[in-house]
Amino acid sequence: MKYVDEFRNGELAKNISANITREANPKRTFRLMEFCGGHTHAISRYGLADLLPPNVRMIHGPGCPVCVLPIGRVDQAIRLAREQGVILCTYADTVRVPASNNLSLMRAKASGADVRMIYSTQDALKIARDNPDREVVFLAIGFETTTPPTAVAVKQAAAEGLKNFSILCDHVLTPAAMHAILAVEGGVAIDGFVGPAHVSTVIGSKPYEPFADDYNKPVVIAGFEPLDVMQAILMLVRQINDGRAAVENEFIRAVTREGNVKAQELVAEVFELRETFEWRGLGSVPNSALKLRPPYAAFDAELKFAVDYVAVQDNKACECAAILRGQKRPQECKIFGTVCTPENPIGSCMVSSEGACAAHYSYGRFRESA
């Protein structure tokens, strides 16, 4: 496939790997966080850690939307489906996130709630049109990539006068989470960031400039293919060797400094900042999430159905919170791969293929014992 195969070439991977090994200053370590779950997946799936010298270490970041969704947010959706009888639509990964009382959206569905997995916000609109006598709520989760499609749907619902459609808005912001990671108490030692691929196609490279300018952390935006990630690591190693901190862009085929302005304008028209939002792992982070603007309040399920958010503690044995902060690795969790598996996830990081635990379970768990 074009734009895929050539970015997975093994010979070129060896070339970049040799460059990294030759250039990475052996007198120091390089602790690099890949923010995005898509990169976590690529690193695990293609075994990229094995192509890096021992002093270059990848730390998984919190950029997996279902991973950072706290239990209380899933509970809200389950309450809507079970108590208010709505048709609850959501992206597939979300239905398996463990919630309170041993429930998940999937288990709620098994016990009779009307939960439907959708691919696109257009599917949710169609369900609302086809069921005019039912309330349809879209559980809208994700970073800056899934927010513009939600904005399109809300505007379309407003234009069509689709009164039985609303959204439970859990859209979150990448730069706010990066700030939160750098502000973690006790500190997470990070020398640089591999910046997200698709998020950056929307927001551009400009929002990362404060991390280079104010925090002195280099950021290199990378595409999702394995060679993209390897090249970004090489570019980070070079910056760190030189003592530089700049925002560089490896994903020039899709990311510009300004990003997708049309998508940004749509989002700004429909959404505004929430004062604060609770993240799994990062706690309450100010200005880190979005809510609908007052003109679109009729489409806000939290207002329409009075389902308040109630914070819930994570399972005590689960280390997702520390893993999402980059402070622990999946294999350091006592229940990893024993009690908690992709078939029966206890924590959210084991749910989605982008989650650090699921990626390590699927591709890397025998590496260290071998």
User: Is the CB of 18 or the CB of 311 nearer to another protein?
Assistant: 18
- Least separation, in Å, of the C-beta of 97 and another protein? 12
User: Is the CB of 162 or the CB of 263 nearer to another protein?
Assistant: 263
Q: Which residues contact 204 (CB under 8 A, 6 or more apart)?
A: 255, 256, 257, 258, 259, 260
- Least separation, in Å, of the C-beta of 267 and another protein? 10
- Least separation, in Å, of the C-beta of 82 and another protein? 24
User: Is the CB of 79 or the CB of 223 nearer to another protein?
Assistant: 223
- Least separation, in Å, of the C-beta of 3 and another protein? 4
Which residue type sits at 19? N
Tell me the helices (H) and strands (E) count for the chain, helix number first: 15, 13
User: Is the CB of 24 or the CB of 113 nearer to another protein?
Assistant: 24
- Least separation, in Å, of the C-beta of 202 and another protein? 6
User: Is the CB of 315 or the CB of 353 nearer to another protein?
Assistant: 353
- Least separation, in Å, of the C-beta of 273 and another protein? 21
Positions touching another protein (CB under 8 A) are 1-4, 6-7, 9, 12, 15-16, 18-19, 22-23, 36-38, 41, 64-66, 91-93, 119-123, 142, 145-146, 148-149, 152, 198, 201-202, 223-224, 227-228, 230-231, 250-255, 260, 262-263, 266, 352-354
Task: Report the relative pairing of strands 87-91 and 115-118 from DSSP bridges.
Answer: parallel
Question: Which of 140, 142, 137 is CA-nearest to residue 113?
Answer: 137
The neighbouring-strand residues paired with 138 are 89, 167
User: Is the CB of 7 or the CB of 305 nearer to another protein?
Assistant: 7
User: Is the CB of 10 or the CB of 286 nearer to another protein?
Assistant: 10
Task: Report the relative pairing of strands 271-273 and 87-91 from DSSP bridges.
Answer: unpaired
Query: Over the Cα atoms of the chain, what is R_g?
Result: 21
Which structure tokens are listed for 274? 């929430």
- Least separation, in Å, of the C-beta of 359 and another protein? 11
Which strand (E) or helix (H) includes residue 294?
Answer: none
User: Is the CB of 43 or the CB of 202 nearer to another protein?
Assistant: 202
Question: Which of 84, 28, 66 is CA-nearest to residue 307?
Answer: 84
User: Is the CB of 58 or the CB of 307 nearer to another protein?
Assistant: 58
Give the dihedral sign, CA 265/271/275/280.
negative
Helices (H), the chain: 10-23, 37-45, 65-68, 71-83, 105-110, 121-130, 147-160, 174-182, 198-203, 209-213, 226-242, 261-270, 301-304, 320-324, 356-359
What angle (nearest 5°) sits at the alpha carbon of residue 189, between those of residues 365 and 73? Answer: 65
C-alpha to C-alpha distance for 67 and 86, rounded to whole angstroms: 25
- Least separation, in Å, of the C-beta of 306 and another protein? 28
* DSSP symbols for 249-277: ES-TTT--SS--HHHHHHHHHHEEE-SEE
- Least separation, in Å, of the C-beta of 314 and another protein? 21
- Least separation, in Å, of the C-beta of 349 and another protein? 14
What angle (nearest 5°) sits at the alpha carbon of residue 286, between those of residues 281 and 288? Answer: 70
User: Is the CB of 92 or the CB of 317 nearer to another protein?
Assistant: 92
